[in-house]
Structure 1
Amino acid sequence: MTDPRTLAEQIDAGLRAKARPERAAGEKAYLKSDLEHYGVSMPVIRSTVREVVGRDGLAHDELVALVEALWEVPVHERRAAAVEALVAYRGVLGAGDIDLLERLLRASRTWALVDALAASVVGPLVEREPSLGATLDRWAADEDFWIRRSALLSLLLALRRGDGDFDRFARYADAMLEEKEFFIRKAIGWVLRDTGRKRPDLVFAWLLPRAARASGVTVREAVKPLSDEQREAVLRRKETAARRALVTRGRMA
């Protein structure tokens, strides 16, 4: 197997060869990123990682070394390639790698890196290693909203399948339901929406009594897979609560 640092430089060379400066400028502005951007799309990043790593794959220590080598240079596409390597070879990770993953999540500062790390790397790892539930509990109360978002999204894939720990998600979501941060509101709605595709009654039963507390973006996402009757009941509850709030504010003015 080629040295991981050499692999990292080969991946970097492949990304640079396909760089699009006009895309880089737009992407950097859109993500409000402090990183350098090459302007390479995610499909190209994935294919570049596959081409360089080859059919032999990566053992645990090789994967970690490759990820570290890619991540240490502040270029968005290198870090996205590190995430893709982790997604592709997540099966070699163990509970002891959660510290590495948390460090990467804290350094990411954008949904473009956080979401895949949380949902597609941390999530499957927690399923294999249930003891890591305690780590998710800590994340759910973290001061960093990206870490709180990660706690929510780490439960997404299992819930999307119709499995997973809805009670844990519900506990996290209930505590975050009135947060003002958009990325928390969106994440709650996203997980509820995907859970509702297999278990709409479960989502409806949880959401209806909380509709008044939930943000508009959370509710709009969550009701998408519900029946017409369920959707109307949630939206009616939300609208009634909004009217009452307006009346109350008017009286206090």
Structure 2
Amino acid sequence: MSMLIQLKADMETLADPEKAAILSRFFKTGKGQYGEGDIFLGVMVPGQRRIAKKYETLSLKDIRKLLSSKIHEHRLVALIILVNQYKKGDEHDRYKIVDFYLRYSKYINNWDLVDLSAPNIPGEYLLNKDRAVLYRLARSKNLWERRIAIMSTFAFIRKNDFEDALRISALLLHDDHDLIHKAVGWMLREVGKRDFKAEEDFLKEHYRVMPRTMLRYAVERFDQTKKRLFMNGQ
């Protein structure tokens, strides 16, 4: 039995129909929703991580097959394996993994998939490289590519490098999707944890045109006085 077939069989043993129904609602899989058509087995993340560790040497060819599955947990396990391989790889391995990630980004198509992988693959890879690809993704018509762009900057923020996070946040100020509003607000809040003035200066310039959700996420850690000033548009 191939490694990929065995991996899928192991996942089936952890399937839970009741949890699958809950996850399907949580990840908005209904008609017209952002996760439309996504299928869940009901395997929780700790179980997926155990399986990813067991099969962490899966080939890129088989990871691609897993990543293109309609089953959500298959795609998440594929990405966990990819993140683990990236962490253990040399520069050549990492280049191949980032190239693979960007080539098949259309399958990284829910917020948990993006948030787990974007900071840890393209974000980490671009720490000391040209970041033009993130600006291309930020301008994409694809919701998930835009989320990859802003979430990748988390890797930079962790290193106290805020410029691209703030610039990409500015590009996404007028995005029409709630999931981008939340991600941008989250990254601005992360900037503020490390450099309050950098976040506050950004907000002073842009808060009047920011979507409410984005602003609410961004000011979550502010004291009540400052929070009211920004949220009330003063």
Alignment TM-score > 0.5, same fold: yes
The answer on whether the counterparts of 1:23 and 1:40 sit within 8 Å (CA) in structure 2 is yes
**C-alpha root-mean-square deviation of aligned residues, in Å?**
2.1
**C-alpha distance in 2 between matches for 1:94 and 1:233:** 43
Q: 2:229 is matched with which residue?
A: 236
**C-alpha distance in 1 between matches for 2:71 and 2:175:** 31
Deviation of 1:137 after TM superposition, in Å, equals: 1.7
Which letter does structure 1 place at the counterpart of 2:100? L
| Greater mean alpha carbon deviation, residues 149-158 or residues 93-102 | 93-102
Which letter does structure 1 place at the counterpart of 2:199? V
Q: Deviations over 1:81-118 (max 9, x none)?
A: 10110111113243354442124322232112122221
Q: Deviations over 1:8-38 (max 9, x none)?
A: 2222111111110111122123321413321
Q: 1:22 aligns with which of 10, 18, 33?
A: 18
The answer on whether the counterparts of 1:140 and 1:152 sit within 8 Å (CA) in structure 2 is yes
Q: Unpaired segments of 5 or more residues in structure 1?
A: 242-253
Deviation of 1:174 after TM superposition, in Å, equals: 1.1
Which letter does structure 2 place at the counterpart of 1:185? H
- Aligned residues: percent identity? 23
Q: 2:49 is matched with which residue?
A: 46
Deviation of 1:234 after TM superposition, in Å, equals: 5.4
What is the TM-score when the length of structure 2 is the normalising length? Answer: 0.85
Q: Which has the larger radius of gyration?
A: 1
Q: Unpaired segments of 5 or more residues in structure 2?
A: 30-34
Which letter does structure 1 place at the counterpart of 2:197? D
Aligned positions, number: 223
Deviation of 1:45 after TM superposition, in Å, equals: 0.2
**C-alpha distance in 1 between matches for 2:219 and 2:133:** 30
Q: 1:251 is matched with which residue?
A: none
Q: 1:163 is matched with which residue?
A: 160
Task: Give the 3-state SS of the residue equivalent to 1:86 in structure 2.
Answer: helix
- After TM superposition, the structure 1 = structure 2 runs for residues 140-159 of structure 1, keeping only pairs within 5 Å, are 140-159=138-157
Q: 2:208 is matched with which residue?
A: 212
**C-alpha distance in 2 between matches for 1:213 and 1:95:** 38
